[in-house]
Amino acid sequence: MAQFIRIKHYVINLDTLTYIRVEENHIDFGFTFPTQKQDGQNYIRLERGVNLDDAEFEEVKDFILELPDADRVILV
């Protein structure tokens, strides 16, 4: 598996990823360090209908559920 994945305009380093939270209408990617967004928050949120259309959201969700390190994935 590649160290980096690209989703839309985000490039995500899987080595620095602490958790992935999958909810009905959004997916959060949590990191061990602050991101460049919103005052240094340590996650990136991709929302259905905002960042991703329905088909893209389901494709990303399916990809996440197939990651080999499943203990970092939280289904809500």
Q: Report the C-alpha gap between 2 and 39 in whole angstroms.
A: 29
Q: Which of 30, 25, 13 lies closest to 61 in space, CA to CA? A: 25
Q: Do 73 and 30 meet the contact criterion of CB atoms below 8 Å apart?
A: no
Stretches where the chain sits below pLDDT 70 are 1, 34-40, 70-71, 76
Nearest to 29 by CA among 1, 49, 4: 4
Residues 32/25, Cβ–Cβ less than 8 Å: no
Domain ranges of the chain: 4-75
Q: What is the pLDDT of residues 3-13, one digit of tens each?
A: 888 998 888 88
